[in-house]
Amino acid sequence: MEIRLNGITHAYGDTAVLRDISLAVPSGKIVCIVGPSGCGKSTLLRLMGGLEQPSEGEILQMGDAPSGCLNPLTYIFQDFALLPWRSVRGNVSLVLEDHNLPKAEVNRIISDVLARTKLTDFANALPKQLSGGMKQRVAIARALAVNPAVMLMDEPLSALDSQTRELLMDDLIALWTRTPFTAIYVTHNLAEAVRLGHSIVVLSRRPGEIREIVHLDQPLSERHFGDATLEERQHYLWSLMRDEARAADAELLDV
Ligand SMILES: Nc1ncnc2c1ncn2[C@@H]1O[C@H](COP(=O)(O)OP(=O)(O)OP(=O)(O)O)[C@@H](O)[C@H]1O
């Protein structure tokens, strides 16, 4: 399934947050969204997920969801949002409970997503026993369990330390390489954007407008930490954002 945004403009009261955003998120690709603090990245994700309606413009879902899709649009947040009293398996099974699936199918799905996220040996552990990186892998397993058409990822790695972030990026690349998924990935972190994005949408400061869409052709599986081409792209992104980020920072301090 592809998502298309046509002329999305959004305001909260008198505060203009997004202006005239038109964008296509192709099936099987990861589109990153970067931009200065407060430019409307999370708002854009909420609009795409249908949690809020835009003031102007339309958001289209084109094409069919994948077979076996139980929830077309699924969020992954930075705070994991796990139920502390449920095991890893119990947190994943939660999203399958209202779908009247045969028990054997539920077990098959859970075993599959735990294997894909390397959590099989931790199926019975409670969240408090897990590191931050493992907790986020549970959240990813839970998202994959519903076989979503599009994953809406809001700063999914930003609560993790830099080494764990590297490991999770490798995991996400391995997951995507095995079975390509469609994702919109909001991040502050330009290193994440150039590692994971097939394209990177650079927003201006609020009200967020598209400054540029940067396309990266290098296959995800060939993108590695310290890669010179990626570093060059990262510098380019920062050159697009630097002045606006400084202005947005000053604006926030004035409030
Ligand atoms: N429900 C709301 N009601 C009123 N204003 C809101 C609401 N949600 C967000 N805003 C405002 O809209 C603007 C954009 O917020 P948003 O969280 O989308 O930006 P962001 O780019 O994701 O920010 P950050 O980079 O800090 O995570 C901010 O000024 C924020 O205060």
* Amino acid, single-letter form, for residue 79: D
The closest residue, in CA terms, to atom 16 on ligand 1 is 40
C-alpha distances in angstroms, 176 versus 15, 21, 39, 196, 250? 37, 27, 28, 10, 38
Q: Which domain covers residue 177, as residue numbers?
A: 2-65+149-254
Q: Are residues 104 and 225 in the same domain?
A: no
- 54 and 22, same structural domain? yes
Overall number of domains in the chain: 2
The pLDDT value given to residue 60: 94
* pLDDT for 248: 78
Secondary structure string (H, E, C) spanning 23-58:
EEECCCCEEEEECCCCCCHHHHHHHHCCCCCCCEEE
Please indicate, yes or no, whether residues 153 and 244 belong to a single structural domain of this protein: yes
Nearest CA to ligand 1 atom 10: 12
Residue nearest to atom 31 of ligand 1 (CA): 38
pLDDT in tens, the chain (255 residues): 899 999 999 999 999 999 999 999 999 999 999 999 899 999 999 999 999 999 999 999 988 888 888 888 999 988 878 999 999 999 999 999 988 899 999 999 999 999 989 999 999 999 999 999 999 999 999 999 998 989 999 999 998 888 888 888 998 999 899 889 999 999 999 999 999 999 999 999 999 999 999 999 999 999 988 899 999 999 999 999 988 888 877 876 655
Q: How far is the CA of 251 from the centre of ligand 1 (A)?
A: 14
* Total-model pTM: 0.92
Burial of 233 (0-12, 13-18, 19+ CB in 10 A): buried
Pocket test for ligand 1, best of 41, 43, 52, 202 (most atoms within 8 A of CB): 43
* 195 is a domain residue: yes
Closest-CA residue to 30 (of 234, 216, 198):
198
